[in-house]
Structure 1
Amino acid sequence: MTHPAANSPKRLLLSIIELGGYPDFKPLYRQAGYEVESAASVRKALGLLKKLSPDVIVAEFNFQSDFRDRTSSLESLLAVVQRTPRTKVIVFYEKEHAHQLTRLTNQYPIHETLPFPIDTANLEQSLHRAAAG
């Protein structure tokens, strides 16, 4: 007889860490029941999305004022992710860029946004809400 948990697939989380400067949340992601894949750029994450279908993506909003047609590389990721509506996106952001982030949250489905410094209890709750649907 197999253990019921052995048959249930683990949820997959894709962590995109471009700038970093905050704690490694992989232990928290695993504790919340996720297998973790990581990418060091949105470009690399887009390549991974051709092979993977993560349940959750955690990414940074890095506002780039030099982009003419978009606010950040995150916008490219969100355009691809909207084709997989079950994927939940959690975005970390700097409070001073909240106004620019609003453009994205109005245009794309983003599960939740969390300001820096990231509160681990809020992140954990966000992950549980994402898993609940």
Structure 2
Amino acid sequence: MPERKSLLAIIELGGYPNLMPVYQRLGFDADLVTTQRKAKAWLKKKQPDVIVAEYNFQTDFRDRSSNLETLAAVLQRYPGVRLLVLYPPEHEASFRQCREHHAVWKAIPFPVTEQKIEQALALL
């Protein structure tokens, strides 16, 4: 029997359906955390096949422009992990700049639907 794929979902903002049933239906062992700090701790113990994270642009961050920069720094140690990012269309320009510096496997603009997630993850 093939080994199940692993997925870490990082939900900091939400605003879309509960996607855990979709991940499980697609054959993932899925875990959920609600902060980048919890994700970093989780990644010390496990290495997922996929991480689904939200892009949260923040102009008040002191040394970065988004939450993804912390995650991207950690993922440099795990080059095989695929990062699927959910982002608000109004922040597309800043997200594009972020993608120039950090590896993003796929990106889905809001509104996020089960169908868009299934299409992105179906071939894994």
TM-score in same-fold range (> 0.5)? yes
CA distance in 2, matches of 1:33, 1:91: 20
Matched, 1:89 2:83: yes
1:14-93 alignment to 2 at 5 Å?
14-93=8-87
- Selected match of 2:116 from 110, 113, 122: 122
- Equivalent pair of 1:82/1:108 in contact (CA under 8 Å): no
The one of the two structures with greater contact order (alpha-carbon pairs below 8 A, sep at least 6) is 2
Instruction: Give CA deviations for 1:23-54 in whole Å, capped at 9, x if unaligned.
Output: 10001001111001110101110010000100
Q: TM-score, normalised by structure 1?
A: 0.88
Q: TM-score, normalised by structure 2?
A: 0.94
How high is the sequence identity, in percent, across the aligned residues?
A: 43
* Segment of structure 1 superposing worse, 65-74 or 14-23: 65-74
Instruction: Give CA deviations for 1:62-87 in whole Å, capped at 9, x if unaligned.
Output: 11111132111211101111221110
Root-mean-square deviation over aligned CA pairs = 1.1
- AA aligned to 1:112 is K
- AA aligned to 1:57 is I
* Segment of structure 1 superposing worse, 119-128 or 58-67: 119-128
In structure 2, the gaps of 5 or more residues are none
- AA aligned to 2:37 is R
The number of residue pairs the alignment matches comes to: 124
Match of 1:50, SS state, is helix
Match of 1:49, SS state, is helix
- Selected match of 2:103 from 103, 109, 121: 109
- Equivalent pair of 2:5/2:27 in contact (CA under 8 Å): yes
